[in-house]
Amino acid sequence: GIPIVWDGTFWRTYPFEIHDPSANGRPTYDLILSETPKARSTQCRGAVVTAEGLLPCSKCSDLKFDVDIIKQRASRPYEQVRRHDDLNSDQLRAKLATTREKHNSLKLKVAFCVAFKRRLSEWREAFEFIGKKSVPALHRLLTNAETEGWSAKKILEQCKRAVDGKYTAKNYTQYDIDLAILLYKL
């Protein structure tokens, strides 16, 4: 086999899953994991003995191109790698972080929509009640609601109390006062 020259931490940046027997597009080599990882061709003919020592066979010598392709793929951002099986540990972590951010964002949107739907139904209930019942001093009640920042739920409660005669809206407007004085003088 030939030594694999790898940039970065081999154990975190090499896509080991490509060697799974069930993986599609398996490389044409097997890994020999030692202190220095090596690639051995699946058609290895064994080492060649020369005067300089042991040299890899021609099949193993041709693996540099295949290893370089894997190295290029491993150095890309995960979005540029087509198959999930080709991702290395660092790419999977980056993908998980991005997916987690998207998931949290969607959870927040769902929570917002649920709260909005609940508030909308409260307003719908309040408007339906006001439309069906004759609420005494409704304009003063709504003025109080706006001034004091009442929720739709509280507006509905106060409207029901006003219809039952248990709530009388205060804070007369200038128009109410002028009308009362005019009626008094007549």
More confident residue, 49 or 164: 164
- List, in order, residues 6 or more apart from 170 with CB less than 8 Å away: 140, 144
Counting Cβ atoms within 10 Å, is residue 114 exposed (0-12), middle (13-18) or buried (19+)? exposed
Q: How far apart are CA 51 and CA 137, in angstroms?
A: 109
* C-alpha distances out from residue 172 to 138, 157, 179, 185, Å: 11, 20, 11, 19
Residue whose entry in the numeric block shows the structure tokens 């069906």: 132
Q: How far apart are CA 182 and CA 173, in angstroms?
A: 14
Q: In this predicted model, what pLDDT tens digit does every residue of 3-27 receive, in sequence order? A: 998 888 898 999 999 998 888 888 8
The mean per-residue pLDDT over the stretch 147-168 comes to 92
Q: How far apart are CA 27 and CA 17, in angstroms?
A: 11
Percent of the chain whose pLDDT exceeds 70: 99
Amino acid (1-letter code) at residue 129: F
Q: In this predicted model, what pLDDT tens digit does every residue of 59-99 receive, in sequence order? A: 998 999 999 999 999 999 999 988 888 899 999 999 999 99
CA gyration radius, the chain: 38
* C-alpha distances out from residue 177 to 116, 171, 182, Å: 38, 10, 9
